[in-house]
């Protein structure tokens, strides 16, 4: 087994690039927001080992949107990996976006589920989206859930999980009702045997930086690159705050701990 070393990565999510550079969502030009983000990542003084995008690369699975996004991601000075979001097409991500070395554990071309072994760390990216559907609540397929059970019981390396939907409640009625993984508790239960070596479960989708600790497992969400959702305990319906800057998280995985630093752009 390779010696476990420090891994540093940038966590981004929910870029929602449209088919033209002037496309707007919630009043914001998402292409320009991503362009600023790429520039900021390239200026980080301690270069990350990779960037992980936890889904909703585009606002809709339009080839022109993926081409625009690919042009920006190709400017990154480190590898990038992707999770399929509910607005994405896993097949288009595979064929149109740059993506680092990986090993698929789903044979379907319409699923994007894979593993990486990086500096002695086991990294798993899950696909919880139903192909062809824009559903704000995902579900982890039985095959991937069984894979997590096996990894939690038999794996030895420090483990990190990436997923689009939050698997746990977030103390916000509308988010918990409309945006969480349908079988998130099953995912959580599957991971419990590995919690001593689990460095975190990283998610997107909710356009808000949120950190949750549940039974020794860190669940870490990152905000959107252009617009943040409301997530107050009394929020009964969807709301957004386009005046809050886009953001990214700089994550350090050590052999025995995880550090998450939030940065605005």
- Note whether residue 214 is domain-resident: yes
Res. 244: pLDDT tops 90:
no
Res. 132: pLDDT tops 80:
no
Rounded Cα gap, residues 239 and 253, in angstroms:
33
Q: Residue 165: give its domain's CATH number.
A: 3.60.21.10
**In this structure, are strands 217-221 and 121-125 parallel, antiparallel, or unpaired?**
unpaired
Structure confidence at residue 106 (pLDDT): 81
In the structure encoding, which two tokens stand for residue 174, read together? 């509308």
Angle at which helix 30-42 crosses helix 63-73, to 10 degrees, equals: 20
- Note whether residue 1 is domain-resident: no
Rounded Cα gap, residues 136 and 124, in angstroms:
22
* Structural domain count, the chain: 1
- Note whether residue 25 is domain-resident: yes
In the 8-state DSSP scheme, what is residue 83? P
Rounded Cα gap, residues 70 and 263, in angstroms:
23
- Note whether residue 190 is domain-resident: yes
- pLDDT, tens only, 109-122: 899 999 999 999 99
- Note whether residue 2 is domain-resident: no
Structure confidence at residue 2 (pLDDT): 62
Give the DSSP H or E segment for 164: none
List the one residue out of 241, 254, 263 whose CA is nearest residue 6. Answer: 254
- pLDDT, tens only, 143-160: 999 999 999 999 999 999
pTM: predicted TM-score of the whole model, two decimal places: 0.97
**Domain region containing 39:** 7-264
| Portion of the chain with pLDDT greater than 70, in percent | 99
């Amino acid at each position: 087994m390779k010696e476990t070393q420090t891994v540093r990565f940038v966590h981004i999510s929910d870029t929602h690039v449209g088919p033209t550079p002037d496309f707007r969502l919630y009043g914001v030009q998402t292409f320009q927001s991503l362009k600023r983000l790429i520039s900021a990542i390239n200026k980080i003084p301690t270069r990350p080992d990779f960037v992980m995008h936890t889904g909703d690369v585009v606002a809709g699975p339009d080839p022109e949107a993926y081409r625009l996004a690919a042009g920006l991601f190709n400017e990154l000075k480190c590898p990038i990996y992707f999770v399929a979001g509910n607005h994405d097409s896993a097949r288009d991500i595979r064929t149109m976006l740059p993506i680092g070395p990986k090993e698929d554990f789903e044979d379907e071309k319409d699923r994007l589920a894979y593993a990486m072994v990086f500096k002695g760390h086991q990294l798993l990216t899950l696909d919880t989206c139903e192909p062809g559907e824009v559903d704000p609540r995902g579900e982890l397929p039985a095959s991937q859930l069984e894979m997590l059970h096996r990894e939690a019981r038999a794996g030895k390396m420090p483990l990190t999980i990436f997923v689009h939907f939050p698997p746990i409640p977030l103390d916000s009625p509308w988010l918990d009702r409309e945006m969480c993984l349908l079988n998130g508790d099953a995912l959580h239960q599957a991971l419990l045997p590995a919690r001593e070596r689990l460095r975190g479960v990283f998610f997107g989708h909710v356009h808000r930086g949120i950190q949750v600790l549940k039974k020794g497992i860190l669940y870490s969400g990152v905000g959107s690159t252009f617009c943040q959702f409301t997530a107050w305990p009394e929020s009964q319906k969807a709301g957004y705050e386009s005046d809050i800057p886009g953001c990214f998280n700089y994550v350090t995985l050590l052999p025995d701990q995880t550090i998450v630093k939030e940065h605005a752009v």
